[in-house]
Amino acid sequence: MKVLLENFKDSVVKVLVTDFNDLWHLENIIKPGDCVTAKTLRTIFIDREETREKVKKKLVVLKIKVEKLEFAKSKNILRLSGKIEECPEEVQKGSYHTIEVHPGKILKIEKRWSEEEIKRLKKAMMKISYANGHIIGEFLMHVGKDDGLAAYGFEQVKNAAVMGAVKTLLVPEDRLHEKEFEEVIKEAEKKRSEILFVTKKNDWMEKFCRQYDIAAILRFAIS
């Protein structure tokens, strides 16, 4: 994520969404009641005598007050829905609109920024870290040794995160937006665990995700 404007004094931040993982951060930053401004496609209507005709979809700049957030996993799009607060003349103020957020989108976000949200924004600006062969190899080594320093499967990893035992958390990239996985990530972040995402860029990584799903290298054995 690239921050184009940062003015926390006036509660305004403008960002450029650069990749899929930014959507995960924005889903955790933007809350109902926040205002978001962006260029978006809007169907324009024209009243002619007693009829109302749909003309076309037009790219306009709209400001909405967010009421609902929805992540469309199949399309990798974050949908922000709410009433229109500011708009051009041809758009009805107070009507509802949905802004679709994807890589390449520029958003202006107006909200009361909490310290946690500012930290997450700063974190989103940093390069997302992905698991490499060395890290996966370390995890598999602990599995092979059965030394108690590897955990896998949702319940085992969740328990390890709660106990503060997770040194490195390995999360499949396509599971980021699942609520239960988000909770484990947040728990691990609290305990200063390293969060690495596993992308299914090759057969080996895909096999790893199928076999272990969410996994972790531990600081200490928990059983």
Chain centroid to Cα 193, Å, comes to 19
Per-residue pLDDT tens for 5-46? 999 999 999 999 998 889 989 999 999 999 999 999 998 877
Does residue 125 sit within a domain? no
CATH of the domain at 33: 2.30.30.870
Determine the residue type at 50.
Answer: E
CATH number at residue 195: 3.30.1330.30
Instruction: Please check whether residue 127 lies inside any domain of the structure.
Output: no
Q: Residue 20 and residue 5: Cα distance in Å, rounded?
A: 21
Q: For the chain, how many structural domains are there in total?
A: 2
| Full domain range(s) for residue 71 | 2-114
Residue 208: count of CB within 10 angstroms of its CB: 21
In a structure prediction context, what are the per-residue pLDDT tens digits for the chain, which is 223 residues long?
999 999 999 999 999 999 888 998 999 999 999 999 999 999 887 766 666 666 788 999 999 999 999 988 778 899 999 999 999 988 999 999 999 999 999 999 999 999 999 988 988 887 778 898 899 999 999 999 999 999 999 999 999 999 999 999 999 988 887 889 989 998 998 999 999 999 887 888 889 999 999 999 999 999 7
DSSP 49: T
In a domain, residue 126? The reply is: no
Pairing of strands 194-198, 166-172: parallel
61 and 143 co-located in one domain: no
Q: Is 123 part of any domain?
A: no
What percentage of the chain exceeds 90 in pLDDT? 68
Q: What are phi and psi of 192, to 5 degrees?
A: 60, 40
3-state DSSP helix/strand/coil % of the chain, to nearest 5:
30, 40, 30
Q: How many CB atoms lie within 10 A of CB 192?
A: 9
137 with 206, same domain? yes
Distance CA(116)–CA(47), nearest Å, equals 47
Gyration radius of the chain's alpha carbons = 21
- Tell me, yes or no, whether 149 and 208 share the same domain: yes
**Within-domain flag for 120:** no
What is the pLDDT at residue 179? 83
- pLDDT value of position 52: 60
Q: Supply the mean pLDDT for the chain.
A: 91
So what's the pLDDT on residue 112? 95
Of the candidates 186, 180, 187, which has an alpha carbon nearest to the alpha carbon of residue 164?
Answer: 187
Tokens at residue 206, please? 């895909």
Quick one: pLDDT at residue 4?
A: 95
Which token pair is 166? 């997770």
Q: According to the model, what pLDDT value does residue 195 have?
A: 92
CA–CA gap between residue 219 and residue 70 (Å, rounded):
35
Q: What is the pLDDT of residue 200?
A: 80
Q: What is the pLDDT of residue 38?
A: 98
Q: Are residues 159 and 97 in the same domain?
A: no
